[in-house]
Chain A
Amino acid sequence: MPEPERHDCAVAFCCDRNYFPLALFMIWQIAHHNPDRAFDFVIATRDDLQPPAWAAPLQIHLHRVSDPPEAVMADLMKLPKMRRFPGSTTPLDRIMLARELGHRYRRILSVDCDMFISGGDFNRLINMDIGAHPLGAVLDAPFLYEPNYHAREYQRAGLGAAPYCNSGLLLIDTAAYVAQDVDHRSFAVFKKHPDAILYSDQSITNLALWGGFAQLAPAWNWQNSARLPFFTLNYPVFLHHFIGKHKPDRLLLRTLDARFNLAYREFMARYFPEHLEKLALPLPHEPLRKGKLFSVVMEHLLARRTTIALLDRFPDPYVALI
C-alpha cells in the first residue's frame, strides 16, 4: 500500500486502546471543521490499534511510541503519586513526540482525547508565531478565576509564581523543542523536584519550562465548561476540555452542558456501539436546582474580574503572547 500523502505538520493524540474511540471522535470533529487541512492526524500509542474502515479517508498515521528511558521509568516508579499513572505511561508520551517525529513534522499539535471541538481554523493555529518558545499552550484553569495564581508545583519546588500551562493542548515546534532539550529537562524533573510532581506530564513540563512557553488564547483549551458554564455565552470557544474526573462519558456534573454527552452518545451509537453502555447516562431533563444555580452564579460573579482581565489579553485567538 502506498504511503499516504503527508504534510509537514500534525495533530497528534497519545492514547492507549481505552481512549482510542475518543481520539477518533476528536479526529472526526477536527476533519469536519477543517476540510482543507494541511496537517496529518497521528495517533501515538503502544497498543495494536487499527483504525476502522470508516476512518480510512482520514489517513490516520499510527506511531509506535518508544518507552521512556529506563532511568525515567525507575524514577517514575519511585514516585509516591504512582496512582496518577494508572498502569500507563501514556501521559509522558507527548514529551517524546518532538524527538521521535521531528524529522517528519516541523509543528505538532498534541491534543488530549477528552475534548469537544466547536470550531477553529487548525491550519492557522498550527502555524501561529510562538517566538523562540518550544511550545505554545493555554494557561491552566485556575488562572481564569484565581488572581495571582501560584501553581502548587512551583510552590513545592520553591519556584516563584509564573505562567503554568494545561498540557491538554500543546503546540510544539519540534526543532525548538529538541534544540532546547525540553524532553531531557522534563525527565530531569523526576530527580530534581520529585515532590512537586502532582499531575504527570503537566507537572513535569511546567517544572521544566517554569513559564517559558507562548500563551495561547483560552478558546483553544477551555477548561471551565463545568465551573463557569455561562461564560461561554459571550466567549466563543474552539476546544472544550473536560478536565478532572467530570467528563461527559463518565461522571456527569449538573453544570456540564448536556450537548457534550449527547455528542458522545451519538458518535458511539454510530461507530462504536459496544462502547455505548460505558457512557454515563444523561441526567434528567430538568432545570438547574436552586442551590446549584446559586453556587454557579456566585462562581461567575467572583471570577468576573480575573476572567475578563485574562481574556482581554487575547483579542485575536490566532495571536499568541510570546
Chain B
Amino acid sequence: MPDPQKHDCAVVFCIDANFLQFSLFMIWQIAHLNPHRRFDFVIASQDDLVIPAWAKPYGIVLHRSGPYPEAAAGARFSGSMSTLFRIMLARELGDCYRRIIYMDSDMYVAGGDLGRLLDIDLGPHQIGAVLDCRYFYLVAPHDEEFKAAGLPNLPYYNTGFQIIDTKAYRDQEVERRAFDICHNTKRPILKGDQTLLNMALKGGFAQLAPCWNWQQDGLSPLLSHLYPVFHHHFIAARKPNLVVSRRLPVRFNQAYRDFMALYAPDMLGAISDQPKPRQLRLQEHIRMVFDTFTAGRITEAITARFPDPYRAIL
C-alpha cells in the first residue's frame, strides 16, 4: 500500500489550484464530522499543490491526474478541464481504492456518515449519484441533451457527488464510453463531464437520497427546512463566495469567511461581501411561499422515495 494511503476507500476532489482552499474547507468539515473515518482524502490535480501545515494531520494524498484524450477539449466546463479528471479516477486510483466518493469542491458539509455511505449496496451499478436539480422543480424533466440525441426520458444525475465502485467502473469501461461521446457527437457538450457521464450511462446508476447532493439552496432555501441535508451543493453561479444573493442563506458565506480568516487570509478578499441584513420584501416572501407549494410538492415526492439516506434505489 503506497504511503500515505491508509484505507481502501477514499473521498476525492478533482481541482485546479483555484479550488484548493475550498476543497480543504470541505476536508476540514468532513474530518470533524467523521472522526473515526475509514477512508483517505485525495486531491487530484494537474497543478503543483502544497498542503498547508495545519492540514497535514489529515494525511491528504495528492494525486497527479493524467492527460485526458485530446477530443475531450470540447467538454471544457466553466473554463476548466479539471472537471474531467473525475472520469479517470477509477482507472488511475482503482488499484488503491475499491470505492471512491468523488465530491465537487463547491459544497458545504453539514453531516452524514461517509464511511457508511461508502459501503452501501449499488446493485449492478458502477456509480451512485443524486438526480439533477431540475427534478426538484419540474415533474419528470427530459434532459435537453438526451432529447437532442434521440434518447428517451431517462434519469439524469448531477455529477458533483458520486460513489464510484472502481472495479465495476473499469470492468464496464465507463471512462472509454464517456470519452467516446466526444468523438461521436456533433452537438456541443453543454455540461462537461456531466454530459459525458450521463450520455454514457443512459440512466444506469444507483439513485442516492437528495440529502447527499442538495442543489436547491440558491433558488428555494425553504425546501430543506424540514429535510435534513448532509451536503449543500452550490451549483452554477450561485456560490457563496461569488454572489450576494438574497435567497442563498448567508451562513454559507459566513462559513467561508470564518474558514478563510483562520487558514487562508489571502483568500478573504476573493469572498463576496455579505448583503446588509434586511428582512425579505413582501414579493420575496410570496416567491418563497409559491416555491413551497410548487417545487415543495415535487421535492417531497422525491425525498419520500428515500426514507433511509443509506439505501440507494437500484
Residues of chain A touching chain B, judged by Cβ–Cβ distance below 8 Å, are 32-33, 35-36, 54, 118-121, 229-237, 254-255, 257-259, 261-263, 266, 270, 282-288, 290, 293-294, 297, 300-301, 303-304, 307-308, 311
Q: Is B188 an interface residue (CB 8 A)?
A: no
Known: A266-B111, A288-B292. A119 touches B255 (CB 8 A): yes
Report, as a range, how many residues of chain B touch the other chain.
35 or more
Closest to A218 in B: B277
In the complex, what residues of B have CB within 8 A of residue A286's CB? 226, 296, 300
In the complex, what residues of A have CB within 8 A of residue B144's CB? none
Q: How far is the CB of A272 from chain B (nearest CB, A)?
A: 14
A–B pairs, 23, beta carbons within 8 Å? A35-B262, A119-B251, A119-B255, A119-B258, A229-B225, A230-B280, A230-B285, A233-B246, A233-B250, A234-B275, A236-B254, A254-B226, A257-B225, A258-B229, A259-B224, A261-B228, A282-B228, A284-B226, A286-B300, A287-B226, A288-B222, A288-B225, A288-B296
Q: Mark B279-295, 1 if CB is under 8 A from A, else 0.
A: 11010010011001100
Instruction: Please tell me if the beta carbons of A236 and B35 are within 8 angstroms of each other in the complex.
Output: no
Q: Among B226, B228, B258, B285, which residue has its beta carbon within 8 angstroms of that of A301?
A: B285
CB contact list, B199-251 vs A, under 8 A = 221-229, 246-251
Q: Is B23 an interface residue (CB 8 A)?
A: no
Q: How far is the CB of A211 from chain B (nearest CB, A)?
A: 24
Instruction: Please tell me if the beta carbons of B225 and A235 are within 8 angstroms of each other in the complex.
Output: no
| Known A230-B222, A287-B300; 7 more pairs at CB < 8 Å | A234-B246, A236-B250, A258-B228, A285-B227, A287-B222, A288-B222, A290-B293
In the complex, what residues of A have CB within 8 A of residue B299's CB? 287
Instruction: Please tell me if the beta carbons of A308 and B278 are within 8 angstroms of each other in the complex.
Output: yes
Q: Among B112, B258, B277, B282, which residue has its beta carbon within 8 angstroms of that of A235?
A: B277
Instruction: Please tell me if the beta carbons of A300 and B279 are within 8 angstroms of each other in the complex.
Output: yes
Instruction: Please tell me if the beta carbons of A262 and B262 are within 8 angstroms of each other in the complex.
Output: no
Residues of chain B touching chain A, judged by Cβ–Cβ distance below 8 Å, are 32-33, 35-36, 54, 110-113, 221-229, 246-251, 253-255, 258, 261-262, 274-280, 282, 285, 288-289, 292-293, 296-297, 299-300, 303-304
Bound CA–CA A175/B84 (angstroms): 60
Interface centre among B110, B112, B249, B255 (most CB of A within 10 A): B249
Instruction: Please tell me if the beta carbons of A293 and B292 are within 8 angstroms of each other in the complex.
Output: yes
Instruction: Please tell me if the beta carbons of A237 and B251 are within 8 angstroms of each other in the complex.
Output: yes
Closest to B261 in A: A121
Q: Among B221, B253, B288, B292, which residue has its beta carbon within 8 angstroms of that of A236?
A: B253
In the complex, what residues of B have CB within 8 A of residue A285's CB? 226-227, 300, 303-304
Interface centre among A35, A283, A285 (most CB of B within 10 A): A285
Bound CA–CA A282/B249 (angstroms): 22
Q: Among B113, B225, B247, which residue has its beta carbon within 8 angstroms of that of A258?
A: B225
Bound CA–CA A175/B150 (angstroms): 77
Instruction: Please tell me if the beta carbons of A259 and B110 are within 8 angstroms of each other in the complex.
Output: yes
Closest to B294 in A: A287
Instruction: Please tell me if the beta carbons of A300 and B292 are within 8 angstroms of each other in the complex.
Output: no
Known: A121-B261, A262-B110. A307 touches B32 (CB 8 A): no
Bound CA–CA A225/B250 (angstroms): 14
In the complex, what residues of B have CB within 8 A of residue A233's CB? 221, 246-250, 280
In the complex, what residues of B have CB within 8 A of residue A35's CB? 54, 262
Q: How far is the CB of B251 from chain A (nearest CB, A)?
A: 6
In the complex, what residues of B have CB within 8 A of residue A307's CB? 279
Instruction: Please tell me if the beta carbons of B258 and A232 are within 8 angstroms of each other in the complex.
Output: no
Q: How far is the CB of A218 from chain B (nearest CB, A)?
A: 10
In the complex, what residues of A have CB within 8 A of residue B289's CB? 293-294, 297
Bound CA–CA A270/B33 (angstroms): 9
Bound CA–CA A242/B228 (angstroms): 18
Q: How far is the CB of A116 from chain B (nearest CB, A)?
A: 11
Q: Among B111, B255, B296, B300, which residue has its beta carbon within 8 angstroms of that of A262?
A: B111
Bound CA–CA A258/B111 (angstroms): 12
Instruction: Please tell me if the beta carbons of A308 and B277 are within 8 angstroms of each other in the complex.
Output: yes
Instruction: Please tell me if the beta carbons of B255 and A118 are within 8 angstroms of each other in the complex.
Output: yes
Instruction: Please tell me if the beta carbons of A236 and B274 are within 8 angstroms of each other in the complex.
Output: yes
Bound CA–CA A200/B203 (angstroms): 60
Q: How far is the CB of A253 from chain B (nearest CB, A)?
A: 11
